[in-house]
Amino acid sequence: MIQIALLDPHPIVQNGFKSFFKNTHHIEVLGTFTKIKQLFDFLLENYIDIIIIEMELKDGSSVQTVKKIKSLYPNTLILIYTSLKESVYGLSILRAGARGFLSKEISQETLIEAIEKVCHDGYHITSNFTNQINKNVDLHRPRNAYGTLSSREIEVLKYLIDGKRNIEIAAALKINQKTVNTYKSRLMKKLDVNNAADLYQQAYNLELI
């Protein structure tokens, strides 16, 4: 029997999660929790094989929560179950200790397969994300991605992360705003993102900040 628990701030998701496994005889839901503290209080007296966690928690960081679970309960496995983008957030959560990153759009069958795979084989990662990891990152030895960026791109990235506007970056680097836009476009392409929020997250994932 695989014993699992869910940490997700949305009651509707919790109810749906319970119904997912109502007739699944080899997987048992021992608890669903809205708050991080509720989960850790439960773990003090109960063993869980796999904890499934939403990335967007209301009372703390999912990355730090995964790290704390792995520190206190190293034999407990963790899956992420979220609507956020795997390409942007997957790397940081895998480095923290999670064993997989699942979209909330997946079917019940895929969720069950992921739980079984993680329990027996180690990781559940989509093929597209596997290719990204193989090309860019060793999960056990984070890559210094500065090597793929020019010195000017790194300067622009740092200003963007600090919240500077294009006009301010142009003035600071003594270049025109069109050139700033060009560097920004290159950064988006190299880091595989399409907006400023994801650019920040990807820079964090790749340990550029």
Q: Give the tens place of pLDDT for each residue, 135-192.
A: 444 444 444 454 567 778 878 888 888 888 999 999 988 899 999 999 999 888 887 7
Helix axes 86-96, 62-72, angle to 10 degrees: 30
Range with the lowest mean pLDDT among 5-19, 71-85, 186-200?
Answer: 186-200
Own/partner contacts of 39-43, CB < 8 Å, gap of 24 or more, are 39/5, 39/7, 39/65, 40/68, 40/72, 42/5, 43/69, 43/72, 43/73, 43/76
Question: Is residue 89 over pLDDT 80?
Answer: no
CA–CA dist 115, 145 (Å, integer): 32
Q: Which residue ranges does the chain devote to CATH 1.10.10.10?
A: 145-205
pTM here? Answer: 0.68
Q: Residue 64 has what pLDDT?
A: 87
Question: Is residue 113 over pLDDT 60?
Answer: yes
Q: What is the pLDDT of residues 31-67, one digit of tens each?
A: 999 999 999 999 999 999 999 999 889 898 888 899 9
Its CATH architecture, for the domain 145-205, is: Orthogonal Bundle (1.10)
Q: Which residue ranges does the chain devote to CATH 3.40.50.2300?
A: 2-136
Q: Residue 205 has what pLDDT?
A: 65
Q: Using an 8 Å Cβ cutoff, are 82 and 56 in contact?
A: yes
* Coil/strand/helix, residue 200: helix
C-alpha dihedral, 109 to 82 to 87 to 94, nearest 10°? -90
Q: What share of the chain is helix, strand, coil (3-state, %, to 5)?
A: 55, 15, 35
Q: Return the CATH fold of 2-136.
A: Rossmann fold (3.40.50)
Q: Residue 84 has what pLDDT?
A: 81
CA–CA dist 97, 74 (Å, integer): 9
* Coil/strand/helix, residue 162: coil
Q: Which helix (H) or strand (E) holds 82?
A: strand 77-82
CA distances from 42 to 5, 35, 48 (A): 10, 11, 10
Counting residues of the chain whose pLDDT is more than 90, the rounded percentage is: 42
CA–CA dist 13, 181 (Å, integer): 40
Q: What is the mean pLDDT of residues 86-92?
A: 74
